Structures are given as structure tokens and as C-alpha cells.
Amino acid sequence: MRLPLSRSTLTRTIGAKAAGKYAGKAIAFLGTGLMIMTLAACQTEAPQATPTASSVNANDYASLPAGVTPKNFHLPTGKGCSGDIARFRAVMDNDLASGHTTEKVHRDIHAELDKISKTCDQAHDNEASAAVRALKSRFGYPSGG
């Protein structure tokens, strides 16, 4: 003799059947959404490239004690991820020239910034800026603003 199903067992059974019924449709919907987002990203225009040349002039640091930034040092302006990348590059160039970091750390951070700059476009601006903040944080730099 079979006992009647409890309410919780019945709910789980019906829920499992419903989940199985709609799982294929959900996967197809997500796949379609991903495809649309990928195609939309291909249609966006990339922002103008930010110059990657260092804004640091070695002569400005020659007469200064180690760890001092020259008075004429200015951070680049710019909005979005391209501005974030340009500013962090300038900070790293300044830190190398003033003796605050090593060439290896400078090289590693610039390599990461090169990777991030490849994803920096209108469709991925927030993600690229977040990647810059995460990189700063990982190397001990303030990541706010």
C-alpha cells in the first residue's frame, strides 16, 4: 500500500518537473541574449586611443631627492575607462621615475593595463574601469574615484 505524498514532497516533485520543462527554454533564451549582446558589441565604435607615451620627463626628476614628484607633474584628463587607464599609467610612470616602485612592478602593471585597454570601449566602459580599480587595489594603490 502506498502512502499519500506529503505537501513538501508534492511541491518538490511538481517544482522539479516544471524546472525540467522550462530549463531548455531558459537556456535558449540566455543563449539568444548572449548572441545579441555579442553582436551589439561588434557594432559599437571604439573610443579614440589615448596616447600611451609617458608624461614623465626623466630630467624633471634628476635634481629631486628620491620619492619626490616634480611640481610640473599633472595627471591626464579624460573620461571613462580610457581616462582611468591613462591616469594609472601616469601614476606608475611617476612612481618608477621617483623611485616608489620597481621596474618589474611597473612592467607588470603596464602589461595588465594593455590587456584592459583592449576591452575599453563604450559597451564595456564600466567593466574596464572596474578592472583598473581592481588592478590598483591588487597592487596597493587607492582604487577610489
CA distance 32 to 36: 6
Instruction: Judge whether residue 69 has pLDDT over 80.
Output: yes
CA distance 107 to 84: 18
CA distance 24 to 97: 57
pTM, full prediction: 0.60
141 with 101: CB under 8 angstroms?
no
CA distance 66 to 56: 15
For 103-128, the pLDDT digits (tens) are 999 999 999 999 999 999 989 999 99
108 with 101: CB under 8 angstroms?
no
64 with 32: CB under 8 angstroms?
no
The alpha helices in the chain, defined as continuous H runs, are 7-43, 58-62, 80-98, 103-117, 125-138
Band (pLDDT 50/70/90 cuts) for residue 49 is very low
